[in-house]
Structure 1
Amino acid sequence: MRVCGLVLAAGGGARFGGPKALARTSNGEPWVARAVRMLRAGGCDDLLVTVGARRGEVTELIPAEAAAVVVPDWSAGLGTSLRAGVHAAADRECDVLVIVPVDTPDTPSSAVARVLAAVGPDTDTARGALVQAVYGRHPGHPAVVGRHHFSALADGLCGDRGARAYLVAHGAVEVECGDLWSGDDVDVRP
């Protein structure tokens, strides 16, 4: 099974005071680089990062092992970023896509490994998989989308809506990850 990891990092971060893709941990590590490293350690073979707001600066922070996916209409909302990432993943030879937003810098690679384990090792089954991490029954990230869902998911994305409605409508398997970390995203600067 070939796994592609996607970091959603194209937004402007209005509530945050600027693009979250430019944020850094207290020790100076860029969140975007941390997310790429976490996805690789969790089992992703190919790595993609969506870029939009201040894309030149963000692109400089992306590790060489990941490819930038330019989202020209990033200001239209999360849906455009996710759609661009799904299309980029569809162009690659991957069976499943693992999705994380850049604003979850504390996501451990073990959460990625756990949701991927729920997909199973069979490639045909994996291509039809939908899995979402939950934290005390609250939906969160990472989410896994099998290749057979790429087109339908991308077609339904618009505005600031992500994949949640699609995952619910199609019976995504929920995998509890609350024992690994809080599942919290960061909406304001620490």
Structure 2
Amino acid sequence: MEIAGLVLAAGAGRRYGMPKALVSWQGSLLVEHVAAIPAAAGLSRTIVVVGAEAARVRAAAPGLAYVENPAWATGMASSLRAGLAALDGTPATAAVILLVDMPGVTAAAVRRVAAFASPAALVMGGYAGRRSHPVLLGRDHWAGVAAAATGDRGARPYLREHAADVLVVPVEDVADDADLDVPEVSGRA
């Protein structure tokens, strides 16, 4: 079974002051760090969705597989739709969704979630009672997720609607789901 990684990295990072994909993080760019996680977890391919400053991101982090979201300013939902559409032409049976501003999600967390992959799977990482990333979407759900995604909510509306079908896999012992919103909070600027 082929499982793909999908990194959403298209935002302008208005609160951060720059696109988060271009933020330096522990010796590399956030986009490079997060895009390496699926490969380290053994996933077959990774696609990075870019939008704001797409040319700069591609130039700063060459060698990654990119898809551009021309509607990036409308929110995360359009990036999720662009990424799922790009994966639709591949043999992937499931996709693990990662956000560029959550560098604490680890390959170990992705492996745990990916262990439950199937075309019908809906799996989320669990953090002491909270559901978060990584999120695995089986291919059977891609069209429904894309149709339900609006604004900055991404897959959230679909996952809530199908809450009884979502498997939550504890990952808090191997990952951190904090997101980097502003430089002062992250301490990484």
TM-score w.r.t. length of structure 2? 0.92
Partner Cα distance (1:39, 1:116) in 2:
10
Superposed CA deviations along residues 32-65 of structure 1, whole A, max 9, x for unmatched, are: 111111110112111100010000011123452x
| Alpha-carbon distance in structure 2 between the residues aligned to 1:185 and 1:139 | 14
Residue in structure 1 matched with residue 59 of structure 2 by the alignment: 60
Given candidates 168, 183, 187, the residue that maps to 2:181 is 187
Residue 93 (structure 1) aligned to one of 82, 91, 103: 91
Q: Give % identity.
A: 38
Aligned twin of 1:123: none
- Look up the match of 1:8: 8
What is the root-mean-square deviation in Å for CA atoms of aligned residues? 1.2
Aligned partners of 1:70, 1:110: CA distance in 2, in Å? 28
Q: In the alignment, what sits opposite 1:149?
A: 141
- Unpaired runs of 5+ residues, structure 1, are 120-125
Partner in structure 2 of residue 173 of structure 1: 167
Rounded Cα–Cα distance in structure 2 between residues aligned with 1:178 and 1:39: 18
Aligned to 2:39: 40
* CA distance in 2 between partners of 1:61 and 1:140 (Å): 28
Q: In structure 2, do the counterparts of structure 1 residues 63 and 109 end up closer, same or farther at CA, with 3 Å as the change threshold? A: farther
State the secondary structure of the residue aligned to 2:24.
Answer: coil
**How many residues were matched structurally?**
182
Q: What's 1:70 paired with?
A: 68
